[in-house]
Amino acid sequence: MDTIRGAKRNESRAAWIMVTPALLGLALTIALPFLIALVLSVTRYKLDTPLPVLFVGLEQFTRIFSDQSFLRALLNNLVFALVIVPVQTAAALALAMLLNRPLRVMPFFRTIFFLPVIFPMALVAIVWELIYAPGPNGLLNAFLSLVSFGNWQPVDFLNDPVWAMPAIMLLSLWQGVGFQMIIMLAGLQGIPRSLYEAAIIDGAGLWQQFFHITLPQMRNTIIFVALVTTILAFRLFDQVWILTQGGPNRATTTVIFETVRVVFKRQDVARGAAMSVVFFLVVLSITLIQHLYMKQHREVE
Amino acid sequence: MKKNPYQNYPLFLLMSAITVCCLLIGGCSSNSEQATGPVTLNVWFHTGRPAEQRVMEDQVARFNVSHKEISIALTMIPEGDYNTQVQAAASDGKLPDLLDLDGPFLANYAWRGHLAPLDGNLVDSLKDDLLPSIIKQGTYNGKVYALGTFDSGLGLYGNRQLLEAVNARIPQQPEEAWSKAEFQAILRKLAARDPDGMVLDLRLDYDGEWYTYAFSPVIESAGGDLINRASYQSAKGVLNGRQAIDAMQEIQSWFAKGYVTPNTDANSFVDGRVALSWCGHWEFPRYQNALGEKLVLIPLPDLGEGSKTGMGSWCWAITKKSKHKKEAMAFLQFLLQKDEVLAMSKANGAVPATYSAIAESDLYGAGGMLNLFVRQLQKSAVPRPITPGYPVITSAFQEAFLDIKNGAEVKATLDKAVRIIDEDISDNEGYRFIDQ
Amino acid sequence: MNFKKHHQPFFPELAKRSFLYLFLSIMLLVYIAPVLFMVVSSFKPDARVLSDGNSLCAFLPVAASLKNYHDVFSRIHFNRILFNSLFITGMIVAGGLLINSIAGYALARLQWKGRNLVLGLILAILVIPFESIAVPLFYQFSLIGWRDSYQVQIIPFLADAFSIYLFYSFFIGMPKELEEAARIDGAGPWKTFVFIIIPNSKPVFATVAVLTFLMRWGSYLWPLMVTTGETYRPLPVAMAAFESQVKLWGDIMAFGVMMVAPILIVFLVFQKWFVKGVAASDTGRKG
């Protein structure tokens, strides 16, 4: 009996030792800052100020919700997510289906399509800055002119209120789709061939196979990819900071961009903290909604 | 089968120890700047042009040789985000002994208590030799906190050949500057002859502080300002008043009419694609190299209240926490010697800070190509607002400028900038002076 | 994926396959064009990078030289910056594997009071995106004077809820017989972990290593906030600073190529693990 109790104590102690470094890390680098954000968000504290700290209740929140830039940022993030999630997910699925063949060149193709994923977003942004160069010499302008037989008027993509956001979307998609493609591929390869074989015997065509077998079997994977992409869409920052600084006229501003700008250009760390809190609540809501949706569907089945 | 129960502990301890050690080494290596012997002076310098960098390194090397008891450790920081970085370093008390600051930000650092006044060490002979603009830029609340070894010049570089082709008058003095109507006419005529209609280079390849430096003078030329300089408490009525709105609408019209080049490769002027380049002293060497005799320097257009131009540049300040203030001052005095001022001016093309250096400068002395800059500093240059609230003022103006450039409604945009500025000033209790 | 068991004439099949190859190859070229453009431009004189945009020359290394590469090295300490990225990412991966794996194991396989509470905490923390605590974290570190160093770029990322969750999911799915054999031999939790669990968990270690590496290598926001100058700055931030200094596009592209080259080599060598790791990030599968 003693040995068992001793072993259990030993196990308990070992478990606590094993879990402590990570727990400590999470507490100090996530939980603590989170609390600090809450505290800062109800003050007027500016970085490195010689003035005494004032508590001002929900003033920062009132301010940010009456700030056109912040509201536009929220809208932009939402629009970005609403476009990117279906497009990137569909593209990833399409690519995965195209590459899901036991041909010897497929690993090569897969590698190439995955390549942009290992490029830092900062690098991708800068290369695409060149591609989006204004005037007829810009790579994209030249290409569009070519495929439209000269009917395309050169556009300054990153400075055009209409084209700036789509430009950011395109390069983000280019960088990210490879990652989702690999996940989709793994999902596709998990679908039993017997299902397809049975369907073909029943006379099902390609589209029917897709809608009745592929999609339902891939449901969980697709939802997972959609969820991750949505969260990533709200974290949009690098490209915007480097390429457009939120412009033109807030066309590409995002929540994180506004937050960083307010802290670094105006030293207003209290306002930045308030924005961080709002950002967290938005992401939390989305995650909960998607979880609820998934749960509902599971119950239906 | 009893195995040693502690057999695997050494492995784990070893792995953990290695990880921890690496972290500590990484941490310690950042703190181990202990030098023995001569006093180590930590100096930060912004990296602008390579030539500037080389002169600085050379000056440090020569100073180290001639002052054996001081050893300067020079850190170069890219100019692009220099201000942001210095602000952040100031926030956590990691400033060096001596650093150069972008002039207009000086008041903010002094207000926060980071800088030590230089007054005690300023001899009259030096004070008299310095351009008044240098002293003014370095003064906050009655005390001198920083001195620059050069000041800046801002103007309109012109391609004489292209301008004469449209019969444009070429003014030489700030008093002779083009009027608003005249400038519009010149732009129109230039555009008519230009294949892509883009004739004006506003250095859009720069960003950040450039917008405030280069374009707030336009507002001042029209009679507005960035902030009410009577008490520096509000921007209402000056930044969003009728004159400021007119000025920004004028600038917006240049964009709307397609006169302005995006200048993606920074070469539109040197390649002769545009006739005018709104730029500062630092591009003179490159421009002269490309255009030679065709290069002219023209004062900025006069929008009603006289041609105004920008001024202010990098200046050296000593930090309050520095334990080597005397040594820092010695280096600063070294840098302000006539020959050193000239050396830096030759490298970066900036206006020398002292009259004695100007007299000996080919470019800036009487009759020199850039003498206009000196005259501007004496007559028509307006310093950016000298107030601790400047970082927010410039940030708000930059945002506004970008929006206006992209076609936003001018009044609403300027109103928003004023709101941001006023809110910040009131949040900071009017930037009242705090004794520290 | 040819399941058709009926008789099919040969030629349409060949035509279909050729068409597929052609289609894929075109897509590939278009897709990889930006990378080609970057590499080719890195060898060209700066002015030509922009002016060649409207012709095929954009993808052909005309007027090629190594000048841009020399420029990069003469303008900044590229080696130092590369080392920074490698060191920081390496430490995060190594340290993270260490502390997250043992936490995951403790949660999955050991019996202890508070286990469910801690598990719940971890799952709760999973929801908190980094950006929502970046600002206060920055403030925290500036209070203790740790800005602009290696520690500040490593420590916040060692403990990672998602990694712990991946380890936990994997360990939970391991057959209990392995540990029971060890228990009979008298091995305690540590020994079991090191000698039984780790050797049988290569997939999850690879997955976590790969995903952590991918996430941290391109990290921009945090290093941007905390580093000053080149000393501790990693590649992505250094590149953006480089680009904003002077618009010498040839140099900038050369920087990009050098930045991507080491990563590319690592990727090509460990390709299999990369792909498996990414595929397994959807935790419903084991890669």
CATH of the domain at A173: 1.10.3720.10
Which chain C residues are within 8 Å of B45, Cβ to Cβ? none
Nearest by Cα to B394 from B142, B164, B212? B212
What phi and psi values does residue B143 have, to the nearest 5 degrees?
-115, 150
pLDDT at site B8:
44
Angle at B33 between CA B32 and CA B35, to 5 degrees: 120
Kindly state whether residues C86 and C52 are assigned to the same domain. Answer: no
C231 contacts B26? CB cut-off 8 A: no
* Alpha carbon distance B12, C101 (integer Å): 13
Please tell me the least confidently modeled range out of A14-28, A227-241, C59-73, C95-109: C59-73
Kindly state whether residues C60 and C82 are assigned to the same domain. Answer: no
Instruction: List average pLDDT for each run of 10 residues in chain A, which is 301 residues long.
Output: 67 86 92 92 88 89 93 95 94 89 81 90 94 87 87 87 94 93 88 85 82 84 86 91 88 94 87 94 87 69 45
Q: Which residue of C has its CA nearest to A226?
A: C282
Other beta carbons less than 10 A from residue B196's beta carbon = 12
Q: Is residue A155 part of a domain?
A: yes
* Alpha carbon distance C218, C234 (integer Å): 9
Take residue C28 and report the two structure tokens written for it: 């590939």
Among the partner residues C34, C98, C271, nearest to A131 by beta-carbon distance:
C34
* Alpha carbon distance C255, A126 (integer Å): 11
Domain range for A127 is: 60-293
Judge whether A55 is closer than 8 Å to chain B, CB to CB: no
Q: Is residue A277 part of a domain?
A: yes
Among the three residues C11, C40, C67, which one is the final residue of a domain in this structure? C67
Kindly state whether residues C166 and C226 are assigned to the same domain. Answer: yes
* Alpha carbon distance B342, B336 (integer Å): 9
Q: Is residue A233 part of a domain?
A: yes
* DSSP category for residue C223: H
* Spans of chain B below 70 pLDDT: 1-36, 80-81, 436
Q: Distances from the Cα of A201 to the Cαs of A170, A215, B381, C3, C16, in angstroms?
A: 41, 19, 86, 10, 22
Kindly state whether residues C85 and C138 are assigned to the same domain. Answer: yes
Kindly state whether residues C179 and C100 are assigned to the same domain. Answer: yes
* Alpha carbon distance B224, A219 (integer Å): 62
Domain range for C28 is: 2-67
The overall longest dimension of chain A from CA atoms, in Å, is: 88
ipTM, interface predicted TM-score of the complex: 0.86
Contacts with C255 (C-beta within 8 Å, 6 or more apart), sequence order: C72, C78, C239, C242
* Alpha carbon distance A289, A223 (integer Å): 12
Region B154-310+386-431: CATH code: 3.40.190.10
pLDDT at site B205:
85
Q: Which residue of A has its CA nearest to C268?
A: A111
Other beta carbons less than 10 A from residue C8's beta carbon = 11
Q: Distances from the Cα of A183 to the Cαs of B155, B297, C163, in angstroms?
A: 57, 61, 17
Domain count, chain C: 2
Judge whether C194 is closer than 8 Å to chain B, CB to CB: yes
Kindly state whether residues C63 and C80 are assigned to the same domain. Answer: no
Kindly state whether residues C164 and C236 are assigned to the same domain. Answer: yes
The pLDDT of C124-147, averaged and rounded, is: 86
Contacts with B247 (C-beta within 8 Å, 6 or more apart), sequence order: B218, B219, B221, B222, B224, B303
Would you give the distance in Å from CA B18 to the centre of its chain?
Answer: 46
Among A residues 252-281, those touching chain C with beta carbons less than 8 Å apart: 256, 259-260, 263-264, 269, 272-273, 275-277, 279-280
Judge whether C114 is closer than 8 Å to chain B, CB to CB: no
Contact status, residue A46 vs residue B427, Cβ threshold 8 Å: yes
B87 contacts A48? CB cut-off 8 A: yes
Other beta carbons less than 10 A from residue A298's beta carbon = 10
- Mutation site, B4, B12, B44, interface C, largest C CB count within 10 A: B12
Domain count, chain A: 1
* Alpha carbon distance C29, C232 (integer Å): 37
Fold of B38-152+312-379: D-Maltodextrin-Binding Protein; domain 2 (3.40.190)
Would you give the distance in Å from CA B309 to the centre of its chain?
Answer: 14
Domains B38-152+312-379 and B154-310+386-431 share a fold: yes
Residue C5 has pLDDT above 60, yes or no: no
Among the three residues C19, C48, C67, which one is the final residue of a domain in this structure? C67
Strands (E), B364-423: none
DSSP secondary structure string for all residues of B197-230: S--EE--TT--THHHHHHHHHHHHHTT--SS-TT
Contact status, residue A136 vs residue A154, Cβ threshold 8 Å: yes
Q: What share of chain C is helix, strand, coil (3-state, %, to 5)?
A: 75, 0, 25
Contact status, residue A100 vs residue A185, Cβ threshold 8 Å: yes
pLDDT at site C283:
53
Q: Is residue A185 part of a domain?
A: yes
Which chain B residues are within 8 Å of A135, Cβ to Cβ? 262, 264
Among the partner residues A156, A245, A266, nearest to B424 by beta-carbon distance:
A266
Boundaries of every domain in chain B: 38-152+312-379, 154-310+386-431
Kindly state whether residues C55 and C89 are assigned to the same domain. Answer: no
